[in-house]
């Protein structure tokens, strides 16, 4: 059920990939998702290459299933991280926060699948032309660094314009969202926020509890002035940031204040003074469960939903 062309390309059971969330998507989470039949992703974020290498080596020891690495193109260590991912011959690379054109060929030459996040039709078409294996079409509902358009409008428009598989992201955390994404023309989904609330995720317990308490309107957008808007859960830090933005803080000052704040929340558990990145779907997440249960729950719910919908036909 739901075996799409993405499953064949990535050699996975279910067309569900895990979001590459910095400081949250460690080897433990990636391995749990891959073992459960999805595609787990280790996030490189802003980490130095040796940290990324350690996570890749750890994951290789823990699973024989394919997994990926997400490279954040704004990272100060981007070139050395790319070298590590190339040398380790990771199965899949996803990219975020920029245009990965200059790296695509190198990955293809060694058989690594390349899947960029795209926030627009123009970038999706460009990625297809350069040989990307699929694209992640991420709507503004997502957590962390976001684009402008919603999943609902962006996925069908891009699916109509390109032939490579489309992976819908942003606002998906259950079987209904999964089925909706496939209905919009996607061949699979990327899920981030829900996987933070998994047993295997190494994010600090306070980060998980903050997510479980989130309500529908709690995931807000900060840092618009920087040109890199970031969706986070409302807290002391987010409120302070919004006040400073109203007062006309500069892009440089904003970047300085933001530095290290995701780590502070996700690793150290300071969910008042740190940046608790999460998507708009946070309000729907009520439990912490193992990745296998989360993934199988999505598939079962989607199938049940599809069966009940077909009764209308």
Among 31-39, 104-112, 137-145, 241-249, the segment contacting ligand TUI (CB under 6 A)? 137-145
Closer residue to ligand TUI in complex, CB, 34/140? 140
Residue 139 interacts with ligand TUI (CB under 6 A): yes or no = no
Residue 228 interacts with ligand TUI (CB under 6 A): yes or no = yes
**The token pair that represents 87 in the structure block:** 């040398």
Residue 44 interacts with ligand TUI (CB under 6 A): yes or no = no
What is the sign of the dihedral through the CA atoms of 138, 142, 147 and 149? Answer: positive
Q: How far is the CB of 230 from ligand TUI (least distance, A)?
A: 5
Q: Which of 29, 230, 264, 266 binds ligand TUI (CB under 6 A)?
A: 230
User: Considering only CA atoms, which of 232, 32, 202 is closest in space to residue 241?
Assistant: 232
Q: How many Å apart are CA 246 and CA 225, to the nearest integer?
A: 10
Q: How many Å apart are CA 283 and CA 218, to the nearest integer?
A: 8
Residue 52 interacts with ligand TUI (CB under 6 A): yes or no = no
- Region of residue 45 (phi > 0: left; psi between -120 and 50: alpha; otherwise: beta): left
Q: How far is the CB of 126 from ligand TUI (least distance, A)?
A: 8
Closer residue to ligand TUI in complex, CB, 15/139? 139
C-beta separation of 79 from 44 below 8 A: no
Residue 208 interacts with ligand TUI (CB under 6 A): yes or no = no
Q: Residue 250 CB: number of other CB atoms within 10 A?
A: 11
Q: Which of 15, 38, 40, 96 binds ligand TUI (CB under 6 A)?
A: 96
Q: Which of 6, 7, 22, 294 binds ligand TUI (CB under 6 A)?
A: 22
| Coil, helix or strand at residue 11 | coil
Q: Which of 48, 66, 98, 260 binds ligand TUI (CB under 6 A)?
A: 98
Q: Show contacts with ligand TUI in window 272-301 (CB under 6 A).
A: 277
Q: Residue 152 CB: number of other CB atoms within 10 A?
A: 15
**The token pair that represents 298 in the structure block:** 């999505």
Contacts of 58 (CB under 8 A, 6+ apart): 27
Residue 68 interacts with ligand TUI (CB under 6 A): yes or no = no
Binding stretches for ligand TUI (CB under 6 A): 22, 72, 74, 96-99, 117, 119, 123, 138, 144-147, 228, 230, 277
């Amino acid at each position: 059920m739901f075996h799409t062309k993405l499953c064949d390309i990535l050699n996975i059971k279910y067309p569900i990939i895990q979001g590459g969330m910095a400081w949250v998507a460690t080897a433990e989470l990636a391995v749990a998702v891959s073992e459960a039949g999805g595609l787990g992703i280790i996030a490189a974020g802003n980490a130095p290459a040796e940290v990324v290498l350690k996570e890749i080596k750890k994951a290789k020891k823990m699973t024989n299933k394919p997994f990926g690495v997400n490279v954040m193109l704004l990272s100060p260590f981007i070139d050395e991280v790319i070298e590590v991912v190339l040398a380790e011959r990771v199965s899949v690379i996803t990219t975020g926060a920029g245009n990965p054109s200059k790296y695509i060929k190198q990955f293809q030459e060694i058989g690594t699948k390349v899947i960029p996040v795209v926030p627009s039709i123009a970038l999706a078409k460009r990625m297809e032309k350069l040989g990307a294996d699929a694209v992640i079409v991420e709507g503004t509902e997502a957590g962390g660094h976001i684009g402008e358009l919603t999943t609902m409008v962006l996925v069908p428009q891009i699916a109509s314009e390109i032939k490579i598989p489309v992976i819908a992201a942003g606002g998906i955390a259950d079987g209904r969202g999964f089925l909706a994404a496939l209905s919009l023309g996607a061949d699979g989904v990327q899920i981030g926020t829900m996987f933070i609330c998994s047993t295997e995720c190494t994010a600090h317990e306070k980060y998980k509890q903050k997510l479980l308490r989130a309500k529908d309107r709690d995931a807000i957008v900060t840092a618009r002035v920087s040109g890199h808007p970031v969706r986070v859960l409302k807290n002391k830090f987010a409120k302070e940031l919004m006040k400073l933005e109203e007062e006309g803080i500069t892009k440089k000052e904003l970047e300085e204040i933001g530095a290290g704040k995701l780590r502070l929340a996700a690793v150290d558990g300071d969910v008042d003074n740190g940046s608790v990145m999460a998507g708009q779907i946070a309000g729907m997440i009520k439990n912490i469960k193992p990745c296998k249960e989360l993934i199988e729950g999505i598939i079962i719910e989607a199938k049940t939903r599809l069966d009940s919908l077909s009764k209308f036909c």
